[in-house]
Chain A
């Protein structure tokens, strides 16, 4: 397992390098620069700014400088939020996005799996159809529709919860977390139902049932674990996406997370900030996909990564 892990982490380096290179040159191709403004700056000031941020150097030199900085864990100064480094910005926004994302993930996983398994056990009965239709509605309503609707009902009409703003408190987190979790619940429920049905029709479940094991045991001990495999592989990229924040949810609920850094950074030509978020996202994706593979091996004993390197 250790051997495999090292190999996997080794192969992540070129992927990450590719990602960084691609993103670096792509954003530099975009017209306009971080210090463009309505009012033309005097040429000396522009030259000074360019010199301070090394924008006067050839692109390749800047690229090498950036890589070297990054290897030492420094993502550079922000080009837009003066006096802020990208490390500081991410350190400030990340806990907020992580907290929301994690809460939504846990909620979605708990509800989605239970509902999906429940529907699978009542396959093709009214309960199943009802639950799956509701799940389809959940998938079909985009979060930028769901969020205003939730605000309209719970904040404006009922007045139970605040409409926006941020604090690490229950009442301010409820609506954003629900908005983030709803489509995930729907996806997880659908995936769980599908794989659960497949597992329940497999021959080893028939064997276990024939041996007279109580239905509860059959489901909890034998069916649920393999049925979770597709859910886990969905969760990998989904977790990376949700932990880096949702620009929609952050914008609608006015939450200071890292989701909005992305769009704002690109619009402001804040090169380093955009790169920082891209790198964070890339690292998370690679990390979670790796965790998914490890979880796979744990959930399905047939999968062994080290013996001859066969991956089934």
Chain B
């Protein structure tokens, strides 16, 4: 046996040093190789930084008009890089303040839907049987309802405040989450490794903690990333109809609504908030897609 062959053999046999990589480490590496997803993360970080700190850098306030400049096109000379609206308010600051609200609604409402959806779905899937059947029938029934109707009614009944928007949007968005988590739980429950754990004497709680929750996590992460843009979209839609965030606060949807009305005379008041909204949704969707590819080994074709 010559030197080279022995080296090759040793290398092949030397598996002790290799540590098993967890699904999530693996997924992380796959995500980093996805250029679109990395780009999306970068865009989102910039966007969050911009809406958090941007308004502090500007001389203008989102409520107080610049009395000398009504409906001015974007110009650095007047100090309004995105122009002003019909009331003379700086659109740069308003776009960023609107972004704060839109992103905040996106995050909080998604958390609400996550909380309801995951507990509902996991419980139904894990308990199974009659309980599962009844719980899923309820989901089906609610699914057939025109959800805008509920939101509009909620807004009307309780007044239009921002906390209600969080809850209302979260409360209608949990259905998909519940379905997905329930399906996943149902299939996990019957997997061989769960049975093996039970056979080894693992308690119910241990099975849930060690096997069910970690395996659900991937699906939930992907779904959360895809729910945030949906929620932002719903909020903008509500604000567009005038049912969402109220003056003097604003959101991207409300700004787009104002901009759309002055389309012919002041197109910039539509274009800037619309671009910010679209870019953010775009980044979230791309990140969600990247995460799905990274976390779901089945799709690695």
Is the Cβ of B149 less than 8 Å from the Cβ of A23?
yes
Taking Cβ atoms with an 8 Å cutoff, the residues of B that contact A are: 36, 140-141, 144-146, 148-150, 152-153, 156-157, 229, 233, 236-237, 240-241, 243, 253, 256-257, 259-260, 263-264, 267, 270, 274, 277-278, 281-282, 285-286, 289, 301
Contact residues in B for A19 (Cβ distance below 8 Å): 141, 144-145
Q: How far is the CA of A156 from the CA of B140 in the complex (A)?
A: 44
Q: Select the residue from B148, B229, B260, B301 with max chain A CB neighbours within 10 A.
A: B260
Q: Which of A1-9, A37-45, A213-221, A280-288 contacts B (4 or more CB under 8 A)?
A: A280-288
Q: Which residues of B contact A145 (CB under 8 A)?
A: 256, 270, 274, 277-278
B282 and A151 contacting across the interface, CB-CB below 8 Å? no
Contacts of A148 in B (CB 8 A): 256, 259-260, 263, 270
Contact status A26-B260, CB under 8 Å: no
In the complex, A68 has a CB within 8 A of chain B: no
Q: How far is the CB of A18 from chain B (nearest CB, A)?
A: 5
- Please tell me if the beta carbons of A266 and B157 are within 8 angstroms of each other in the complex: no
Residues of B within 8 A of A278 (CB): 145-146, 149
Question: B183 CB to closest chain A CB, in angstroms?
Answer: 14
Partner of A285, one of B144, B240, B243: B144
Q: How far is the CA of A97 from the CA of B32 in the complex (A)?
A: 45
Closest chain B residue to A266 by CB distance? B152
User: What residues of chain B lie closer than 8 Å to A103, measured between beta carbons?
Assistant: none
* Minimum CB–CB distance for A165 against chain B, Å: 16
Establish whether residues B153 and A151, one from each chain, have CB atoms under 8 Å apart when the complex forms: no
Measured between beta carbons, the chain B residues less than 8 angstroms from A130 are: none
Residues of chain A whose beta carbon lies under 8 Å from any beta carbon of chain B: 15, 18-19, 22-23, 26-27, 29-32, 123, 133, 136-137, 139-142, 144-145, 147-149, 151-152, 156, 197, 201, 244, 247-248, 251-252, 262-263, 266-267, 274, 277-278, 281-282, 285-286
B277 with A142: CB separation less than 8 A: yes
Judging by beta carbons under 8 Å apart, are A282 and B260 in contact?
no
**B241 / chain A contacts, CB cutoff of 8 Å:** 247-248, 251, 263
User: If the complex has contacts A148-B263, A263-B148, A281-B146, are A140 and B141 also in contact, measured as CB distance less than 8 A?
Assistant: no
Report the tally of A-B residue pairs with Cβ distances under 8 A: 107
Chain B residues with CB under 8 Å of A274's CB are 149
What's the nearest-Cβ distance from chain B to residue A265, in Å? Answer: 9
Docked pose: A140 CA to B285 CA in angstroms: 8
Q: From B152, which residue of chain A is reached at the shortest CB distance? A: A266
In the bound complex, do residue A262 and residue B263 qualify as a contact, i.e. CB atoms below 8 Å apart?
Answer: no
Q: Which of A15, A123, A137, A142 contacts B236 (CB 8 A)?
A: A142
B285 surroundings in chain A (CB, below 8 A): 136, 139-140
Chain B residues near A248 (CB, 8 Å)?
A: 237, 240-241
6 cross-chain pairs, A with B, having the tightest CB-CB distances, nearest first: A140-B281, A140-B282, A148-B260, A145-B274, A266-B152, A144-B240
